[in-house]
Amino acid sequence: MFRALLKRANRALELLSDGGADAYEKALEALDPSAREWWNQTVEETEEEYEMTYSATADDLAIWVETEAIIHFQGQLRALMNRDVIREQAFGDAFDPGRFEQLARYETHLDRKFERTLAMLVKLQELRRDRDVRVLMAIPADEESRSSSDTA
């Protein structure tokens, strides 16, 4: 598909370089309909979205075909030709069983460590609560009423 798009874009560029009164129309006809639609949208776009503003002329069409269309089609063709290599690398990195096993060991280790830390925290909170209760029980009732009247 991208080879055909690239071939048609090169043909349009040849027609534009040959020149002639109707070179622009012939070049547009040589472009694939999707590329033609892309060109028409580009012509309508504002200057903010592109480095330069294109007008519907043979010179601007030649610049656009060279600097945008052909480069885009070549990039897509390269990606398409290398898709197996890219897929193999992506899946190879994602599904390495050795790395997964190592992560599982780390997870188990961290899970056990977390459980021990949590148990220690609960135990310390219970000790603190017991100590506070013993301290409160050690204060006689008359001292408690005196300390509350002193603060008032």
Expressed as residue numbers, the domain containing 50 is 2-90
Q: Do 68 and 83 share a structural domain?
A: yes
Q: Of 65, 90, 115, which one is at a domain's C-terminal end?
A: 90
Q: Do 132 and 75 share a structural domain?
A: no
User: Using an 8 Å Cβ cutoff, are 64 and 39 in contact?
Assistant: yes
Q: Do 111 and 83 share a structural domain?
A: no
Give the dihedral of Cα atoms 11, 16, 20, 22; nearest 10 deg.
Answer: 80
How many separate domains does the chain show? 2
User: Using an 8 Å Cβ cutoff, are 35 and 9 in contact?
Assistant: yes
Q: Do 71 and 117 share a structural domain?
A: no
Q: Do 58 and 100 share a structural domain?
A: no
Tokens of 19: 């020149």
Q: Of 90, 110, 142, which one is at a domain's C-terminal end?
A: 90
Q: What is the pLDDT of residue 92?
A: 67
Q: What is the pLDDT of residues 114-147, one digit of tens each?
A: 999 999 999 999 999 988 888 888 876 555 555 5
Q: What is the pLDDT of residues 29-42, one digit of tens each?
A: 898 888 888 888 88
Q: Which residue has the higher pLDDT, 75 or 144?
A: 75
What's the burial of 30, exposed, middle or buried (CB within 10 Å: 0-12/13-18/19+)? buried
Model confidence pTM above 0.85: no
Distance spanning both ends of the chain, measured CA to CA: 88
The helix (H) or strand (E) run that includes residue 77 is helix 70-81
